[in-house]
Amino acid sequence: MAGMVQTTVRSKLSLTGLNMTFGHGNEVVDVLENIDLEVREGEFICLLGPSGCGKSTLLNIVGGFLKPSSGEVVIDGEPVRGPDPRRIFVFQERGVFPWLTVEGNIGFGLFRLSRQEKARRIAHYVELVGLQGFERAYPHELSGGMKQRVEVARALAVNPDMLFLDEPFGALDSITRLEMRRELLRIWRAERKTILFVTHDIEESVQLADRVVVMSTRPARIRNIMEINIPHPRDISSRRYLDLRDSIFEQIGLAHKI
Amino acid sequence: MRAWAKALPWAFVALLILTWQMAISHQPAAILPTPWAVVLGIQELAVKGLLLKYVVASLFRVTWGYVLAAVLAIPFGLFLGWHRRGQVALNPLLQILRPISALAWIPLAILWFGVGDLASIFLIFLASFLPITVTAMNAVGSISSNHLNVGRNFGLSETQLVLKVLFPAVMPQLVVSLRIALGIAWLVVVAAEMIAATSGLGFLIVDARNAGNRYDLVVAGMVLIGLIGLLLDIMMRKLEHLSFLRWAHREE
């Protein structure tokens, strides 16, 4: 149509003029200030900022668990009114139900499916996250990394079109964390979800994201949005990677020498 | 466990009985019974048919008072925990009632229900109802908000959330509170029967003393109370270790 801009990839999520304040009376804390963001379908976005800056609050608002003080969250053209099974929030492994087995957890969101379909999906996602042989295990019998995989599998099993991940690998040891990043990218490429990933780890954001949204300290504003146009798998010793990483270090005001 | 570790508790029981026997035999005017006299006392009760009658009477009252309390307190407590406003409205009242021992209600219980089964059942009900209610209420409050959010995120209705997240999450705490409440109920039935009943193990103790200082029967009653209490506790502990509750012991 004349006059209309034709976009090749449609907008999945748009945040406009988002503000968030906590508390009331004299003790008001501004957490988010004037956040505007457009996310395309299938994009991997990292929200990067220092601890306690408000990026988790932002993710909780997008997930529908919190209402913003002002501004609007629109997904697929509809304003967000609450949590929705089409968009799954992945907590750190703390969201796994300790009273359910691996199977039970992964099948948790599949209560609308027939028994056979449910079993088929569970088997598929158990395999996808590499938990074969642990189907009947309870979370207390699993390591932190395995519990994290259970959470991711449970989220993917309902076939959502968006995933919200709140520092999902923060509690893992550094080796497991690297493995989990690789697996997440593999899953993302296989399943093409739109991903919002909160982290305070600069390296992590540059390794994973299509775009890194760099946020300020509280009240969180968007400082800059960095396009990470390096194809996967990314060589983390390449010039390009190091340049992008260092420029984020500079933006945040950190020296990268210790 | 090694054999000696298993034998150790029995060794202490034997030691206690031995000390008891020695202490009695060094006392010139023996008012207190020897262990053997207590065994004979229990035998005498059995022969007279009182043993079975009194044990059944006490267990009958405990069962009714306790089961009634559990059946009402669990949904009530969960409801209060789930609906914050209900909790805010009723919590102060619960906290005032809680420190009032069920035994303080004995005069009122007799006034309302007379001396008999109903008064004891009422007292046991009171003694078990409040602790179970408060535990159920607090258990709901301690459910991880992550778990509730996961439930909401996957599109569970309020009813489904209660069935699939709330119930399993509070179950371990509920079972522990049920065990503790049964212990309290067993304590209370004895006291209630001493005053507000004409049968049962509590009545046996008072009656044996009043009817000619039969301390062998008094101690026999005490031993029976202890043994039955132990059995009840073992039963409830078995419940705590059912497979679907086992996760609670392994977390953190």
Q: What is the tens place of the pLDDT at every residue in A77-130?
A: 899 999 999 999 998 768 899 999 999 999 999 988 899 999 999 998 898 888
State CA B243 to chain mean position distance.
23
CB distance from B2 to chain A under 8 Å?
no
- Domains of chain A: which residue ranges? 12-86+162-252, 99-159
Cross-chain residue pair B168–A82, CB shorter than 8 Å: no
Q: For A22-84, what is the HEC assignment?
A: ECCCCCCEEEEEEEEEEEECCCEEEEECCCCCCHHHHHHHHCCCCCCCEEEEEECCEECCCCE
CATH T-level topology, domain B39-244? MetI-like fold (1.10.3720)
Taking CA atoms, what residue in A is nearest to B165? A97
Cross-chain residue pair A94–B144, CB shorter than 8 Å: yes
* Cα torsion through B88, B94, B96, B97, rounded to 10: 170
Taking CA atoms, what residue in B is nearest to A137? B247
Taking CA atoms, what residue in B is nearest to A164? B153
CB distance from B142 to chain A under 8 Å?
no
State how far the Cα of B237 lies from the Cα of B42, in Å rounded to an integer. Answer: 28
CATH T-level topology, domain A12-86+162-252? Rossmann fold (3.40.50)
Cα dihedral B141, B143, B146, B148 sign: negative
Query: What is the distance in angstroms between the Cα of A101 and the nearest Cα belonging to chain B?
Result: 10
Query: What is the distance in angstroms between the Cα of B129 and the nearest Cα belonging to chain A?
Result: 27
User: Model-level pTM?
Assistant: 0.81
Average pLDDT, chain B: 89
B-chain residues within 8 Å CB-CB of A111? 156, 160, 164
Complex confidence, ipTM: 0.84
Of A91, A140, A158, the CB nearest to B251: A140
Are residues B126 and B102 in contact, defined by beta-carbon separation less than 8 angstroms? yes
State CA B29 to chain mean position distance.
37
B-chain residues within 8 Å CB-CB of A56? none
- Count of pairs with CB atoms under 8 A, one residue in A, one in B: 60
Cross-chain residue pair B149–A95, CB shorter than 8 Å: yes
Main-chain phi, psi angles of A15, to 5 degrees: -110, 130
pLDDT band at A255 (very low <50, low <70, confident <90, very high): low
Residue A5 or A192, more confident? A192
Query: What is the distance in angstroms between the Cα of A195 and the nearest Cα belonging to chain B?
Result: 16
Cross-chain residue pair A88–B160, CB shorter than 8 Å: no
- Strand partners of residue A165: A90, A197
Q: What is the tens place of the pLDDT at every residue in A139-163?
A: 988 888 888 889 988 998 898 999 9
First to last CA, chain A: 56
Q: What is the tens place of the pLDDT at every residue in B24-54?
A: 888 766 678 888 888 999 999 899 888 899 9
- Domains of chain B: which residue ranges? 39-244
Cross-chain residue pair B153–A83, CB shorter than 8 Å: yes
CB distance from B165 to chain A under 8 Å?
yes
Are residues B20 and B34 in contact, defined by beta-carbon separation less than 8 angstroms? yes
Of B146, B153, B160, the CB nearest to A94: B146
A-chain residues within 8 Å CB-CB of B153? 63, 83-85, 87-89
Query: What is the distance in angstroms between the Cα of A98 and the nearest Cα belonging to chain B?
Result: 6
Q: What is the tens place of the pLDDT at every residue in B1-10?
A: 677 788 888 8
Pairing of strands A11-22, A162-166: unpaired
Of B150, B156, B169, the CB nearest to A95: B150
Q: What is the tens place of the pLDDT at every residue in B201-249?
A: 999 999 988 887 888 889 999 999 999 999 999 999 888 887 667 777 6
A-interface mutation test, from B146, B153, B174, B251, most A Cβ less than 10 A away: B153
